[in-house]
Amino acid sequence: MKKDIIRLLDLDKDDCERLFHRAIALKESRRSGSEPMPLRGKTLGLIFEKPSTRTRLSFEAAMAQLGGTPMFISARDLQMVRDEPVKDTARVLSRYLDALAIRSYSQALVEEFARFSTIPVINALTDLYHPIQVLSDLMTVLEAKGRLQDIKIAWVGDGNNVANSWINAAAVLGLDLALACPERYLPSDAILSAARARGAQVTVTSEPAEAVSGAEVIYTDVWASMGQEEQAAERKRIFAPFQVNAALLAAAAEDAIVMHCLPAHREEEITEEVLEGPQSVVWEQSENKLHMHKAVLEALIQAQGA
């Protein structure tokens, strides 16, 4: 049966737990040299409007290591740039491919692809959400802490697409999530309200020290995302009090871990000292994208044939 992951609310708690456990098992298999290759003969299409290092390479490597073939498709090379309707492109690609991952500015574009595709569609980042990133982040927390429940997770910085997906995750998994954002850069009210309506324990503050107090996980991201470059100077000024540094880390739990989805701007949203310090799990976090992408591709493509 076809299943898409357009936002984390497309999954339930059991779905997430299966993906975590499978991703961890696939990681162990790779390290032991006994990798399964269940996707032989399958093909993944990757349509990217935005530049990418980790997301593109980890999807391509994941598909290849599972025995399948990844095909990168620059959005500018599609006939959509000459006004072919998305629904036509989606239906044609569904005849060629077994799954499709899309990285776009527009959430609506990914949703339209999913509506007209007969193959699984994966949101590989939009301006609104970054669901698979947060799945791999949650895998990292699970590895580091052994659990996801009864852990305070603090987000410090912009209320951006990754923050929105963390709010979705709080709704699905019952996480204790605190977000510290400048007043002008809060997460979506609609996304917050929907999560709280499902019982999510999400608090929002403009005080970073309040958000990280007692937190076992501290997460930050760049202050200006792709497409916001012209705002970078103003954002640097506004977000300066939200830097993750040694002083802020001292307000968290003694064994807190620090996360960043990269690329990092050292000495802006995070200091070199913290990024390279003993509490940083950033490099493990980055590797885990590969293993989570494997788990997602295997689950969606195999379910399609069931």
Q: Which is higher by pLDDT, 80 or 247?
A: 247
In a domain, 2, yes or no: no
Distance of alpha carbon 26 from the chain centroid: 19
pLDDT band at 13 (very low <50, low <70, confident <90, very high): very high
Asked if residue 107 is part of any domain, the answer here is yes
Q: What is the CA radius of gyration of the chain?
A: 19
Task: Kindly state whether residues 93 and 226 are assigned to the same domain.
Answer: no
Banded model confidence at residue 81, pLDDT cuts 50, 70, 90: low
Q: Coil, helix or strand for 88?
A: helix
158 and 219 part of one domain: yes
Encode pLDDT of 192-241 as tens digits.
999 999 999 999 999 999 999 999 999 999 998 766 788 889 999 999 99
Q: How confident is the model at residue 306 (pLDDT cuts 50, 70, 90)?
A: low
Total structural domains within the chain: 2
**Domain assignment present for 258:** yes
Domain identity same for 14 and 109: yes
Inter-residue contact 136 to 161 (CB < 8 Å)? no
Residue-number span of the structural domain to which 96 is assigned: 8-129+287-305
Of 21-30, 77-86, 107-116, 274-283, which range is least confident?
Answer: 77-86
Cite the beta strand spans of the chain per DSSP E. 43-48, 69-74, 99-103, 121-123, 152-156, 176-180, 201-205, 217-220, 257-260
Examine the domain organization and report whether 138 and 281 are in the same domain.
Answer: yes
83 versus 114: the higher-pLDDT residue is 114
- Answer whether residue 221 is part of any domain: yes
Whole-number average pLDDT of the chain: 95
Pairing of strands 217-220, 257-260: parallel
The answer to whether residue 3 sits within a structural domain is: no
Same domain, 99 and 217: no
* CATH code of the domain containing 206: 3.40.50.1370
For tokens 């629904």, the residue is: 87
Looking at the domain assignment, is residue 1 inside a domain?
Answer: no
- 40 band by pLDDT with thresholds 50, 70 and 90: very high
Indicate whether this model's pTM tops 0.85: yes
